[in-house]
Structure 1
Amino acid sequence: MGAVAAIMTLTLKEAMRRRAFLGTLIILVVLYGLSFLPKAFHEAFGGSERRFELGIQLMTSFGIDSIKFFASVLAIVLSAGTITGEIERGYLAAILPRPLHRWQVYLGKWLGVMVFCAVNVVLWSAMLWLSVYLQGRSRPEIWHALPYVLLYPVLYGTLALMFSSFAGTSVALMFTVALGAFAYFADHFLRPLVVFIDAAILQRIVWLSEWVLPMATLKRFVMAEVRLPFTGRIEDAPFASEAVRFFLNPPTRAWELGYVALYILVALLIGGIIFQRRDVQ
């Protein structure tokens, strides 16, 4: 495993060389500043403690969603060019003649990207928790949701790395973003339409999107830990049938996490197999 660790270290250094840490610092500062908005508005305009608590809860949810988004983007950007980019620069052609197996290179690069993204997610989550704590509130759900938030960059980074094993950087980016956009559109736009248009085709598309990219599955696990203080939800609408309400707000099930893990493992294996056969000259 020494070779894997060496490649992982080189990948981390490459991420630092690309100034990825600057993005980390910028997001830290932005999260810290925005998290104090509830306290700033409360002190400037007054209001009840209930409204202040509502603002804290909303900002916590917004902060976690922001961490999910930026961690996914970071993983995609770092992974999409990590194979093809180094082939084009001739780095892989130089190191592969050494006593290194290709699977060691692939696994080391994957671990490097995942470690870098995981450190960022933990730092951002800690900053979000600290800023809320300094306002006199404690939000343990930030830490409860952390394991599921960490799976976002793993999911998207593994997918982008798989595409990078056979395609150029721009194509790998395009494929990964396209799958993410499809999953997001199906969950955030098509799923609510079922309340008004009870069409089986819409439900099938949403169902398919969760198998193609289980982003909505992870979202449900995060939302189970970070509950918004809203009393009225579209899935509670009286004109929706019981089946539709269940479809709009399905429960979290343990086997779904198993599918996410299997999805990541299969994508990692497919990318590794393709990389084994790719010409790096």
Structure 2
Amino acid sequence: MTILIIAQLTIQETQRRRILWLGLLMAISFLAVFGIGLHYIVAELDAIDMDRENMEIATGLLLSAGLYVVNFLIIMMTVLTSVTAISGEIDSHTIDTILTKPVRRWEVVLGKWLGFVGLLIVYVALLSGGLMLVFYLRTGFTISNVLAGSSMMILQGLAVLS
């Protein structure tokens, strides 16, 4: 129970910091730029009367490039939101008030880690889901193995977080 409370407090603390909102702004900006670029590229490919198979290959390459950017944003947000989690509390002595309670140190570390994992999962779901939605709405093509790809992005974020 203590671990979940610390995870919830970690999420609330991260929401108060500007870096989370800056990351969400970057994600929305990227999705907008990707959508506009995809729109004009698909319109150009339609103008030259490209067949469906080649259109799917060309737009698939654009989706791959978009997923690389999504992966980069996920790694950056993971690093920037968690970099000063415990060390910042040690420097400001706020961890001293937490550790005077009957809370073990591993519970604090695990609670903070779980809080950042929750934020990571939400960020991956919003960013990769938004990218797939923009791609589907403009091209009409569906992508297989979306869950496996998103899981790999989460695992990369977990590797950086740990």
| Whole-angstrom CA distance in 1 between matches of 2:125 and 2:42 | 28
Match of 1:109 among 109, 112, 115: 112
For 1:30, the aligned partner's letter is F
Kindly indicate whether residue 150 of structure 2 is the aligned counterpart of residue 140 of structure 1.
no
For 2:151, the aligned partner's letter is P
Kindly indicate whether residue 71 of structure 2 is the aligned counterpart of residue 68 of structure 1.
yes
Bigger helix share: 2
Give how far 1:84 is off.
0.7
TM value normalised by structure 1: 0.52
Does the residue aligned with 2:12 lie in a helix, a strand or coil?
A: helix
| Whole-angstrom CA distance in 1 between matches of 2:110 and 2:31 | 32
Give how far 1:36 is off.
4.5
For 1:116, the aligned partner's letter is L
Q: How many pairs does the alignment contain?
A: 157
Does the residue aligned with 1:28 lie in a helix, a strand or coil?
A: helix
Supply the RMSD in Å over aligned alpha carbons.
1.8
Match for residue 265 of structure 1? none
| Whole-angstrom CA distance in 1 between matches of 2:37 and 2:57 | 12
Give how far 1:74 is off.
1.2
Q: Deviations over 1:174-195 (max 9, x none)?
A: xxxxxxxxxxxxxxxxxxxxxx
Match for residue 22 of structure 1? 22
For 2:153, the aligned partner's letter is V
Structure with the greater alpha carbon radius of gyration: 1
| Unpaired stretches in structure 2, ≥5 consecutive residues | none
Match for residue 123 of structure 1? 126
| Unpaired stretches in structure 1, ≥5 consecutive residues | 159-281
Q: Deviations over 1:5-27 (max 9, x none)?
A: 11101110111111203312331
For 1:4, the aligned partner's letter is I
Map of 1:116-195 to 2, 5 A cutoff?
116-135=119-138, 136-158=140-162
| Whole-angstrom CA distance in 2 between matches of 1:147 and 1:121 | 9
Match of 1:59 among 50, 58, 62: 62
For 2:28, the aligned partner's letter is L
Does the residue aligned with 2:142 lie in a helix, a strand or coil?
A: coil
Map of 1:1-281 to 2, 5 A cutoff?
2-19=1-18, 20-44=20-44, 46-47=47-48, 48-49=50-51, 50-135=53-138, 136-158=140-162
Give how far 1:54 is off.
2.7
Q: 1:64 to 1:41 in 2, by over 3 A?
A: closer
- Report the more deviating stretch, 24-33 or 59-68: 24-33
Q: 1:55 to 1:39 in 2, by over 3 A?
A: farther
| Whole-angstrom CA distance in 2 between matches of 1:69 and 1:59 | 16
| Whole-angstrom CA distance in 1 between matches of 2:33 and 2:73 | 16
| Whole-angstrom CA distance in 2 between matches of 1:17 and 1:72 | 20
| Whole-angstrom CA distance in 1 between matches of 2:142 and 2:33 | 17
Q: Deviations over 1:95-128 (max 9, x none)?
A: 1011111000000010111110110001111101
Note if contact 2:11-2:116 (Cα within 8 Å) is conserved in structure 1. Answer: yes
| Whole-angstrom CA distance in 1 between matches of 2:12 and 2:30 | 25
Q: 1:124 to 1:36 in 2, by over 3 A?
A: same
Give how far 1:38 is off.
3.4
The runs of 4+ residues in structure 1 deviating greater than 6 Å are none
Match for residue 228 of structure 1? none
